């Protein structure tokens, strides 16, 4: 049976059959253009609206200091590769504009999107995990958001918003891996991480172009650069901190800074084209 036939059968297969289908899938791949348009019933919704809530959301703690800044990009932006979704017609039919990779997204203002910025050193004390979940949505056969932060113990809600089979394959090193199937639209699965860990990759074995990265930290002091390259971390107590910026293609950079009570300090990072 061809791949398209396997996708159609996924709607009525038994759990055992689904497990077999997931097991024979192939993983890896690259993501899509956040500006692509997804069909939602009779309407069309830009993907950037779905991602807006995940962009540059400042973390908060009990202190009164804050750090904000911009992640800049130096050099010529690499071309973003087109993503081919023809292997699953359900995926392809949900898009009315071209879809492109998200591994390197240089914004129009010359900044870099999808950079995880967090306090690597200097935080003391313990921080209860929020009860509000971080949501990882599969919409248009794409993970939204592409990069996210989550606290140790905080629930991660994984949602299938597509009328096709998805499989969520996470391979952390410091936490317990999982590989789950979500064959029905509207399915939700809750997970949590027990230890800090950067760069937990999520992929779909059924749709190898899907990928996302989660960053697990023990405190609330983190942010992700958005469509203007900005980030913000609030609620810091006075102190000296090591701030780290992580990007999936360009690695990490660190800066050390000190903040006083009530102070707002600006810190920029610059990643250079390879």
Residue 51 has pLDDT above 90, yes or no: no
Q: What is the pLDDT of residue 5?
A: 44
Q: What is the pLDDT of residue 13?
A: 42
Residue 55 has pLDDT above 50, yes or no: no
| Per-residue pLDDT tens over the stretch 174-197 | 999 999 999 999 999 999 999 999
Cα separation, 82 vs 80, in Å, equals 7
Cα separation, 180 vs 132, in Å, equals 22
CATH of 3-272, one of 3.40.190.10, 3.40.50.620, 2.60.40.420, 3.40.640.10: 2.60.40.420
Q: What is the pLDDT of residue 60?
A: 60
Q: Where are the domains of the chain?
A: 3-272
Q: What is the pLDDT of residue 98?
A: 87
What percentage of the chain exceeds 90 in pLDDT?
76
Cα distances (Å, whole numbers) of residue 89 to 4, 78, 131, 152, 245: 7, 29, 37, 37, 37
């Amino acid at each position: 049976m061809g791949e398209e036939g396997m996708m159609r059968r996924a709607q009525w297969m038994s759990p055992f059959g689904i497990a077999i289908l997931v097991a024979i899938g192939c993983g890896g791949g690259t993501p899509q253009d956040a500006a692509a348009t997804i069909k939602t019933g009779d309407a069309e919704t830009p993907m950037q609206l779905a991602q807006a809530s995940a962009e540059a959301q400042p973390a908060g703690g009990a202190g009164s200091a804050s750090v904000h800044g911009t992640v800049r990009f130096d050099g010529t932006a690499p071309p973003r590769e087109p993503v081919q979704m023809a292997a699953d017609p359900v995926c392809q039919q949900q898009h009315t504009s071209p879809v492109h990779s998200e591994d390197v997204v240089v914004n129009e203002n010359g900044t870099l999107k999808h950079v995880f910025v967090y306090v690597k050193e200097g935080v003391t004390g313990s921080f209860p995990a929020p009860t509000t979940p971080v949501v990882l949505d599969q919409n248009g056969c794409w993970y939204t958001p592409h990069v996210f932060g989550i606290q140790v113990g905080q629930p991660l809600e994984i949602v299938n918003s597509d009328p096709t089979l998805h499989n969520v394959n996470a391979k952390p090193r410091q936490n317990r891996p999982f590989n789950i199937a979500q064959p029905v639209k509207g399915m939700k699965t809750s997970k949590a991480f027990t230890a800090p860990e950067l760069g937990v990759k999520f992929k779909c074995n059924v749709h190898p172009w899907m990928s996302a990265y989660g960053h697990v930290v023990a405190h609330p002091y983190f942010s992700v650069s958005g469509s203007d390259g900005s980030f913000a971390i609030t609620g810091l107590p006075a102190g000296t901190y090591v701030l780290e910026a992580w990007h999936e293609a360009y690695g990490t950079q660190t800066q050390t800074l000190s903040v006083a009570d009530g102070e707002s300090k600006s810190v920029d990072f610059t990643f250079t084209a390879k």
